[in-house]
Chain A
Amino acid sequence: MSKNTRIILICSGKGGVGKTTLTANLGIALARQGFRTAVLDADFGLRNLDLLLGLENRIVYTAQEVLEESCRLDQALVKHKQEPNLALLPAGNPRMLEWLKPEDMQRIVSMLIDDFDYVLIDCPAGVEDGFRNAVAASKEAIVVTNPEISAVRDADRVIGLLNTHSVEPIQLVLNRVRPKMIASQEMLSVNDVTDILALPLLGLVLEDEQVIVSTNRGEPLTLSSSKSPAARCYTNIAKRMQGEEIPIIDPSKEGSSIGDKFKRLMQTKIF
């Protein structure tokens, strides 16, 4: 491969931790920064990257037709309306799972590298064939996890597997962080997680209702200039991917409203 296209797998092991949401938001954020970005839905069984990006009704061809050579790549790529730098390569029929091989994924990605700066691959949950196919085509990885023991355990397993495939670098995104629960020690702290996983932390994403609202609208948060907490987190992650040094928020300082701060001061008997 000649070009310096960054081919990044977004994976987690455990399902439902926020891979697709991260892929959609980073895709938009990178496109807004001017990078030609392709997002590739590798979750053939339960595809929904198209939904999150609001592109479902514009899909004509998919990766399947591209592989079967019944259409050209550019016919299958769906350009985003507001962010033309972003294109989605939709997942084909779930039956693709029966015949898809690591080489097929590699072929698709090698077709993309000439025209894009970033290729983000939305990985299916689990560590079986779907994961293995997606890994084979990736150079780097972002492992998404939640501050929960089971999610961290699965992330650890996935990191072990990525290491055996010499995917590098592997960075960590900790999603659905709830500062209050961490403060009351009801949730694993950021340190608890990085201590076990021993990966560089690319960023935290706060738990935020706006994520759900935006998902249902098919408009990722990074698309608007939303000031919602999660939107800021996603944008910062996209900037850090370029090597910008943006300090990672301290969850213990987030979400503490004036009321909380006042309460704490009361407890420390300053008043």
Chain B
Amino acid sequence: MSIENNERQLIKFPLRKEEDWRTSFKSKLAKFKEGFIEVDCKDWPLSWKDLVKLKSLLERSGFILDGIYSQIPETLVSAYSLGLPTNPLLSKEAEGNYQTQQNLNQSEERVLFHEGTLRSGEHIEARGDVLLLGDVNPGAQVSAGGNVMIWGRLLGIAHAGKTGNLNAKIIALELRPLQLRIANEVARGPEGKPEPGLAEEAILYSGSIVIRPAQTIFVNKKTHTIPPTP
């Protein structure tokens, strides 16, 4: 495949409530020039498998997948775990769908979105899930009633399921925290550094906190584990 086209191109999925993204994807794609392309997956939760399919679909049509935009943290994590070039920037539209600190009290379901590194002494708290784009430095803390998802390095303290949710988890691109807490369990962080490029998650497993490669909730755990990126 020869790539002459170096322009940035972005193809957008429709929103989930509008139509299935697969319906008109090919006809939309025909309007783009062969070469690199980024995909805005909107609010579609895509698994590792979905992304592999998307990637090969693009390749068959002469495109190289050059970035994923998504409003869904799990999609971002799937994409990262797959070693796809991913773009954690959420579009303005997407931000509107996320909860801001102010309307935190109104609903517990949505994701608290925070952009920027948390430095020593800083603390964010969410009643539901939290998605942080940046690092959590030593001395900083994130806590959430639901899951803690960190698009960056976790070097400080994270507390998921602080109101007792035993299924809450902590996902980070680089998991080397000082301390992890899930519900009422507390664990010291692991010694040493994790393998680079491998997102990890901490979950509660028969009463203690364990760390494993990130498996987003949309990935079928029986059929495959996420391969480390090269």
Contact = CB atoms under 8 A, between A and B. Distances in A.
Nearest to A164: B122
A159 B116 CA distance: 13
B189 interface: no
Contact of B139 (A153, A163, A198): A153
Contacts of A153: 120, 138-139
Nearest to A162: B119
Interface string A139-167: 00000000001000110110110010000
Per DSSP, chain B at the interface is loop
A210 to B, nearest CB: 32
Interface residues of B, number: 11
Contact of A159 (B119, B135, B138, B155): B119
Contacts of B137: 156, 196
Interface string B152-165: 00010000000000
Interface in B81-133: 117-122
B138 A160 contact: no
Interface string A156-187: 11011001000000000000000000000000
A268 to B, nearest CB: 27
Contacts of A156: 119-121, 137-139
B229 to A, nearest CB: 20
B139 to A, nearest CB: 5
A154 B120 contact: yes
A160 B136 CA distance: 12
A127 to B, nearest CB: 8
A157 B139 CA distance: 8
Q: Which of B117, B118, B155 has the most CB of A within 10 A?
A: B117
Contacts of A198: 117, 135
A160 B155 contact: no
A166 to B, nearest CB: 13
Contacts of A160: 118-122
A198 B138 CA distance: 13
B121 A196 contact: no
Contacts of A157: 119-121, 139
Q: Which of B119, B122, B138 has the most CB of A within 10 A?
A: B119
Contacts of B138: 149, 153, 156, 196
Interface in A83-132: none
Contacts of B155: 196
A159 B139 CA distance: 13
A163 B116 CA distance: 11
A185 to B, nearest CB: 14
Contacts of A149: 138
A196 B134 CA distance: 12
A157 to B, nearest CB: 4
A176 to B, nearest CB: 20
A160 B117 CA distance: 9
A154 B139 CA distance: 9
A196 B121 CA distance: 14
Contacts of B139: 153, 156-157
Nearest to B118: A160
Interface in A186-200: 196, 198
Nearest to B116: A163
Contacts of B121: 156-157, 160
Contacts of B117: 198
Interface of A: 149, 153-154, 156-157, 159-160, 163, 196, 198
Given A154-B120, A159-B119, 18 more contacts: A149-B138, A153-B120, A156-B119, A156-B120, A156-B121, A156-B137, A156-B138, A157-B119, A157-B121, A160-B118, A160-B119, A160-B121, A160-B122, A163-B119, A196-B137, A196-B138, A198-B117, A198-B135
24 contacts: A149-B138, A153-B120, A153-B138, A153-B139, A154-B120, A156-B119, A156-B120, A156-B121, A156-B137, A156-B138, A156-B139, A157-B119, A157-B120, A157-B121, A157-B139, A160-B118, A160-B121, A160-B122, A163-B119, A196-B137, A196-B138, A196-B155, A198-B117, A198-B135
Q: What 6 A-B pairs have minimum CB-CB distances, sorted nearest first? A: A160-B119, A156-B120, A157-B120, A157-B121, A156-B119, A153-B120
